Amino acid sequence: MLPHFVRRFSYSPKVRRVIRALGLKKSAQSLYYRFVQRGGFIQISAGGVTGRFFSASARDLRIVESCAQEQALDRLLSEVRPEDVVYDIGAHHGLYAVLLAQKVKRVIAFEPERECHARLERNLESNGLSNVSSYRKAMGDRDAEEILYLGDGVGAMNSGQLGPDWMMGAQQTISVVRGDTFRQSQNLPVPTVLKIDVEGHEGAVLEGLRESLSLPECRLVCCEIHPLLLPHPVTKETVVQALKSSGFHDIQLFPHNTEFHAFAYKKPGGSG
């Protein structure tokens, strides 16, 4: 119970403001990391399920824990069904994949960044999950090789909106696949649910999966929209319209920092 209390306390906005004002951010993060993690792993619970996640540093720990506190995670876990096939596009370290896999038939995860994908694989193995497949690929609207620019723990492709903190840092060459083509070539099942978090690349992902999204069995999309990273002339409204054109007429937007979590349904009134 104590680590859970410390976790909640450390994420208090007031506490974080005081720590920053005192210039103690790095020291506090290091102390918190040593206190909370056990043998390099932390335990995260959400939506009635629990997973173990490897955390090599204080930065990794904060990334996983901040994602675990998103309301979108709890909502998605509450709306999936045992028969669902979920595509986790932009799986990062596998927080969503690990937890969703305990509630659905199958998860297919896509994560192009080298270290993140290795961490994803390790987390899947440490949780003993056999119903998850992972690919070190990015999804898009065409097959190509692209440069992934690495920001503070996450990566993004050049949308024309990346600042110098992205463009001047580390980068990797990654493989991008057109979603529908890749699904058919790998004989993958049609997704019934999609979770998309790709740092401004969401429009290209939706375009590449247009056929899959339009199929009747595809019923729910949870998509994080990043207005500040979308390539011109793509906007939040463009992404919403792409979902509507694939038959998702009930689209609910929830603000999250500078982004939005979009929950898109083909039937009005939610997933019912």
For the chain, the average pLDDT equals: 87
pLDDT of residue 41: 81
Structure tokens at 41: 């792993």
Q: At 106, is the pLDDT very low, low, confident or very high (cuts 50, 70, 90)?
A: very high
User: Do the beta carbons of residue 17 and residue 86 sit within 8 Å?
Assistant: no
| Digit-coded pLDDT (tens) for 4-57 | 555 555 555 565 565 566 565 565 555 555 655 556 788 889 999 999 998 766
| Digit-coded pLDDT (tens) for 51-82 | 999 876 666 767 777 787 789 999 999 999 99
57-61, 163-167, 182-186, 254-258: which has the highest mean pLDDT?
182-186
Percentage above 70 pLDDT, the chain? 81
Residue 106 CA to residue 109 CA, distance in Å, equals 10
Model confidence at 154: pLDDT above 80: no
Across 86-94, average pLDDT:
96
Which CATH architecture does the domain made up of 67-265 adopt?
A: 3-Layer(aba) Sandwich (3.40)
Q: At 163, is the pLDDT very low, low, confident or very high (cuts 50, 70, 90)?
A: confident
* Alpha helix positions (H), the chain: 2-10, 13-21, 25-36, 58-68, 71-79, 95-101, 114-126, 164-167, 179-185, 202-208, 210-214, 236-245
Query: Which amino acid type is present at position 240?
Result: V
User: Do the beta carbons of residue 62 and residue 44 sit within 8 Å?
Assistant: no
Let me know if 49 is exposed, middle or buried by CB neighbors in 10 A (0-12, 13-18, 19+).
middle
Q: Which of 115, 196, 204 is nearest to 158 (CA)?
A: 204
Q: Is 134 helix (H, G, I), strand (E, B) or coil?
A: strand
Model confidence at 140: pLDDT above 70: yes
pLDDT of residue 1: 45
pLDDT of residue 270: 54
Query: Which amino acid type is present at position 263?
Result: F
pLDDT of residue 65: 72
Query: Which amino acid type is present at position 7?
Result: R
More confident residue, 30 or 151: 151
Model confidence at 2: pLDDT above 50: no
